[in-house]
Amino acid sequence: MLGSAIMGTQTVRRRTLKWGLFVLGATFGCSPSMGGNFPDDPDATADTTAPEDSGGDTGAQDTASPVDTGAPRDTATPMDTGAPPVDTGAPRDTAVPPMDTGAPPVDTGVPRDTAVPPDTAVPPDTMVPPDAPPPTGTPVVTFQVDGQRTGANRAESALTPTSLRGGRFGRDTRFAPSLDGQVYAQPLYMPAVLVGGAPRSLLFVATQANSVYALDALTGAEVWRASLGAPVSRSSQPCGNVTPTTGVLGTPAIDPASGTLYAVSYNSSGGRVFNLNALDLATGRQRGGYPSAIRPPMSNGSSFDTAPTGERGALLLLGGRAYVPFGGLYGDCGYYHGWVVGVDLADPTRQTSFATPGSGSGIWAPGGLSTDGMGNLFVATGNSMRTRPGGSTSFGYQAGSLGEFVLRLPTPSLALNMADRTAQFSPSDAITLDNEDLDIGSVAPVVLPPVGGRRFVFQGGKEGTGYLLDAASLNTVVAENAINQGMYGGVAAWSNGTITYVFAPVRGRGSSCPGTGGVQALRVTAGGFSVAWCTSSVSDPMASVSSNGNDGGVLWVAGAASGSLRAYNLTDGTELWASSGADSPGSVRHWVPPVVADGRVYVTGNSSVSMFRLR
């Protein structure tokens, strides 16, 4: 359930581990601080709009003020930065394109049709700072940087521990774009897009008014805005808490090779319809054959019903297809399922699908799904729903619904072999988790870089237990530790080939990390994981990572409840920088990680985006 968020006072239950997977119908069911010198931003005030829930979780923000406990404990072993970079094996269209900063500009070409034109012309570039770098660099084309959902930009040379200590980093309050609705999706970044014949770095932002903006990444000036049709009003939905309308909720994805941004909009025209849109990066115009309605074939005896369904998770591009996850709405109303729909980008009417059997078991985490780069997708589900006589549903465990599971789905078919236990994992206490709304699907699975020659998947959950699973055999549990009091939004990871970290954003922290919340750095080995260090207290955090190869590692943490941005040394958790005063972002959208690209950090607010850089 995307609702019922577990707040910081939840007690973590430590339990006796019972390894293995439970077959469908078995007892366990489910089968198996510095001031700025920029002008004050008049809009830098907190946005108190209620957060969304799109798969059964309240997603409510923790409104308690964070307690800064000071510098974290330095318990980690310093990294060996001489190791070569890790090759994660991700194919070109699943993650970040090659990071050659000297690459020529992307030529997006002439749009292939005359669908929705941009609403505005390209404004004169009057705000570019005199020290602005050329528009070439490292793109961020999907949620948390890559298809593995690590959140690691390994090509950031400007923002390092040394430069952040120099007193020149802060918010550029001149970057203040005007947006027409709330923002729930992570912004995407593309350098060197040819606009009017000249290369420009663009930041793409989607809103709940069903608009996609291309902003000048240096100034915030609007380059174009594409309207994707009328959004769906909250009053017309059976439940939910995204107000006043739902538009583009899940994070889009960019295909750099074709210069196309793919986004799912929720449209009210012709009934409630999910449409896949394909926008030219340079103009915002739709590609030929788009928008295209998402109408997948039946799966596990279920038909796709858009009324009780929400699209909160991020899109993933893989093998010429867009994979789109779906869950339910806040309140768990109606007879919904967890869906993954694969859309052929060459012909979007060709679609494949997977749906969880029974009721509930939504795939609602903001990260959506991840890939191992070898044609497999990984998803985690939320709570199942009990079906009552007459077809209505109520909250509670439903045997055989695949609630509280991590699944590996083959592409492009998405056909899960229910008899293949290596493609499924469910905790030993799945029934209890299900009944208490402690979804393990509150974060998307993260596929880690190789550790000791093995490939692992890390999965968190609302209960605060971390699971380290063998990617090739999910029912092989390497480690299961109760480490905190709940993980939400998304997990980050980083490796230098010798040391591997998982960064878990948590609400409330166990005995290893005192405080009210923050990020725990978990050191992963071939035999398990343990807490290496903790950040200072940050309520409702989201994290991302930047480094220059194996050097200059920085952990970036945005706090939604406090409206803050902080930076920590990746090796030991030493705080390098913390926002305050005019350098604060004003508001921070929960569950959206900071975007680090080409010497700048973008923080998503409730209906805004802030930009930070070296002065």
Which helix (H) or strand (E) segment holds residue 145: the answer is: none
Task: Let me know how many helices (H) and strands (E) the chain has, helices first.
Answer: 2, 40
Residue 316 tokens, joined? 């993933």
Q: How many CB atoms within 10 Å of residue 117?
A: 13
pLDDT at 91: 38
What's the rounded Cα separation, in Å, for the pair 194 and 378?
Answer: 35
Q: In 341-356, which positions are buried (b, 16+ CB within 10 angstroms) versus exposed (e)?
A: bbbbbeebeebbbbbb
Q: What's the CATH code of the domain at 124? A: 2.130.10.10
Residues of the chain with pLDDT under 50: 3-134
Does some domain include residue 160? Answer: yes
Which pLDDT score is estimated for 345?
A: 98
pLDDT, position 554:
98
Residue 332 pLDDT: 84
Q: Would 190 be classed as within a structural domain?
A: yes
DSSP string, 515-583: SSEEEEEEEEETTEEEEEEEPSP-SSEEEEEEEETTEEEEEEEEETTTTEEEEEETTT--EEEE--GGG
CA 55/CA 237 separation, integer angstroms: 14
Asked whether residue 18 is assigned to any structural domain, the reply reads: no
Residue 22 maps to a domain: no
User: What domain range includes position 572?
Assistant: 2-8+33-614
How much is the pLDDT for 393? 63
Q: Beta strands of 16-92 (E only): which ranges?
A: 56-58
Residue 27 falls within a domain, yes or no? no
Per-residue model confidence (pLDDT) at position 8 = 34
Whether 298 is covered by a domain: the verdict is yes
The pTM is what?
Answer: 0.80
**Would residue 28 count as lying in a domain?**
no
Residue 292 resides in a domain:
yes
Nearest 5°: the CA angle 169, 518, 532 is 95
Overall number of domains in the chain: 1
Q: Is 38 exposed, middle or buried (0-12, 13-18, 19+ CB in 10 A)?
A: middle
Cα–Cα distance, 299 to 202 (Å, whole number): 39
| Residue 509: per-residue pLDDT | 62
